[in-house]
Chains A and B, each alone.
Chain A
Amino acid sequence: MDWQDFLSVLPFIIVAGWATILLLVDLWIPANRKGITAGLAVLGLIAAIAAVISRFGIEREAFDGMIIVDGFSSFLQLLFLGVGVIAIAQAYDYLRRRDIERGEYYILLLYSLSGMLLMASAGDLIVVFLAVELLSIPLYVLAAFAIPKADSEESALKYFLLGAFASGFLVYGIALVFGSTGTTALSGMVAAIESAETTPILLLVGSGMILVGLGFKVAAVPFHMWTPDVYQGAPTSVTSFMAVGAKAGGFAALLRIFISALPGAAVMWMPLTMWIAALTMAWGNIAAISQTNIKRMLAYSSIAHAGYIFMALPAAATPEVAPEAVRAALFYLVTYAITNLGAWGVVLAMEKAEGSGLEIEDYSGLGKKRPALALAMALFMLSLTGIPPTVGFMGKFYLFQVVIDANLIWLALVGVVTSLISAYYYLRVIVVMYMRDGEPEVRSEALLNSTIFITAFGTFFFGILPGFLLKMINQVSLLDLFR
């Protein structure tokens, strides 16, 4: 234990500490100038980004293995912090428009982000549990941020009850795995399983329950029931953050626990994850077809994408493919984050002050009225489908290749077929925007427009030149640490 340990969690300390300071500072910021809080929050995030970058490439365990700093954690932390900056920029004008502008929004967002940062570098199941809760509890409050609006209330209650239920499963699973291996440290679990000093039945039930708990968090079928309602009811800026951040956080934990700590138990979780992936892809895409509300449609789309990322887990059960599977999952998380933030940004621009303007029909005529915005939305829809030259294509290509390498050809086929199905409802948005006549009411807010521009640029740029991203991901070495 030395001061280096504190440097290892510096990004987390910055974000969580800054949130606590802001909580007090915000009390003396007048109600009509909450932009100051937003600006200060972004400053804190930039400081945290600097902290991550300055220590990029360092690999070490801190606090007796409770915290792991490696390429995997640094990469994910950068992703989370970037998502945080964009989420704050998207929220600023939206909150004023819906008349729910309060400084606590940004503070809760920072707290939730700090949970994600902790999740990325968790090296112990205790820290995983703590991070999941730190990530979720502020999100429950954020979902309720538009109270007394009835749909926000309902969304928050559903999210809270099912989220708490899921964390019950998660922590029970953790307790059973602890009982089976006699340790909560991820590195210790690898050793315990290799030396066969475990109780297999407890390990089987325990890892299954962890899968259920985290499956709820990432909205995988059959634990997805809450997603459409919560995403629809929550304020749209919260949904945008939730859909990207919470999901990426859940997958950070899934990848870390199952691929780096439980590879010895792969026989047990491989069939489970395989079926979850297949079901999630199929059901998410099929249910999305019948949706008329764009928020619900994107909610089902996010379920479907959880299925695609889930494919990395059964693929990683084959040890030779595992490092590549982790990289493919990370790449897909980035593509998902960029594209989805952009798509939700367009939804934010189209939403009216009273919370209407969310039907897909409301998008008719957008191509004529705001060509740039319509083009961006078209790009995001193509990327979500997985059509070149967008980043979504690269992500799917990489992921399917890994799945085929792991000899799971039927799973890759399910992925391809469901992607084809998804083309129907994604392209319908494009058709409505360009082929139908209408007079859409669109907002033009500087911050929101710039986030849409940045994400659209990213979607296109990484679609034709993914080299930079791939190079960065290739440095990720999740597995080296325990070998």
Chain B
Amino acid sequence: MSTNNAAPKKLSIKDNYAMLTRGLGWDTTYQPMDKVFPYDKFEGIKVHDWDKWEDPFRLTMDAYWKYQGEKERKLYAIIDAFQQNNGQFNVTDPRYINALKLFLTGVSPLEYAAHRGFALAGRNFRGAGARIACQMQAIDELRHAQTQVHTISHYNKFFNGFHDFKYMHDRVWYLSVPKSYFEDAMSAGPFEFVTAISFSFEYVLTNLLFMPFMSGAAFNGDMATVTFGFSAQSDESRHMTLGLEVVKFLLEQDPDNVPIIQKWVDKWFWRGYRLLTLVAMMMDYMLPKRIMSWQEAWETYFEKNGGALFHDLERYGIRMPRYHDVAMKEKDRISHEAWGIFYNYTHAAALHTWIPSDDEMKWLGEKYPNTFDKLYRPRLEYWREQQQAGNRFYNNTLPMLCQLCQIPMAFTEPDDPTKICYRESDYLGNKYHFCSDGCKDIFDNEPEKYVQAWLPVHQIYQGNCFEKDADPTAADFNPLAEVMRYYHINVGEDGHEFEDSPDRKNWLRWTGKPSHGGEKTPETGHAEKAT
């Protein structure tokens, strides 16, 4: 060390980053490295030189804290202003809030899970550069979870269905879809985890979550969501870069890594795509002012942008994810099929559903000329008739779920949108059922893992979804009501038809604005009007 008293020369960003990620790492000697990092070999990934890891952002911790601190200050200033100005009443109409319920209760726990997952991955990589990148992302994800919880907390003061998101995440049937997706990744090895989340989700598919959702929020006057969206977006670009960097690094390290990565890309493309079904439904049915259809978003963000990405990866020996062609065939149906699920079972959900207005159906017909008028409009019109006759359709028998993605089996054959797609496997004397070849392949590759899926419907029938004081032997035992109590869903408030909802009545009373503001639709139903 120099004894010179002159101020030390300030390091360049590049040198600073190099010191942090190379200079501070060392090989252990008291314990063998394999014992200190026991989880980075069993997946079969070979890394010969961790120093080849390059982080294009070269972000150091001091710079990280400075940037993030600034973002936080701006974000909370805007959220404060939103709250003081009752910004929640400036959204297009209260139907929009249901998209928010699904997004905030479905995604926020995933942000927290991502925080845990990246902390774990960071601990398990023996390369210091990768560890630092994972550490920063772990902190980012925690920040995102926090800002979303603040948004939940605000909307919870005015609307139903937000009150117990964390508890519901572990129990409610449709929230098991995002939950099981993430737990699949977290219970894999560290390399599969980063390929799943950083590459397949953040890099390949995240634009389909963020772009439509954040533009949708802006379009529908939801500044709270737009603000956290923008605040998260700058982190997302770093995460996307990490995702691509991880995959390129692994592919360059050893040719034996290529087939392993390809298998993960196939798997996590399909899992992420199935998860995005919920986004498809939000875009086409739940945003009162629509930005683009799911089909258009898929064409832009996957077929075009994703196609270019995989073209670039061809030189490493990576091809397009398997079944991307099936996703293409399904692009004019999945949002309608998903809305069917939620319309059928909305009385068991913490969000409302409704029949689109005539204008909205016209829009759907224009966006989906091959399917909507022929296949989906007739059922929506029938349901509307029934509802107007006081006989709103609810499906009172529980649905069959896909063993893998856990979504009710509503998806149809790739080449026939009128036939449910059934796939099955036999394993150790039991049958397992799937919504698609994509989900079946994932199961068949690792049946030992997926036999333990906590499928909400099966758990109900095993008697595991009742509160401790429930008595299934009692004469007046009502299983559905008891399951709702176990879910912490308040019957008559949180779920069921939007037209009859307290949310809608409160909106009319509090704002004096129409409850279908996105389109010109007369107020129907018996909700009291503003006076």
State yes or no: do A and B come from one complex: no
Which A residues lie at the B interface, using CB under 8 A?
A: none
Which B residues lie at the A interface, using CB under 8 A?
A: none
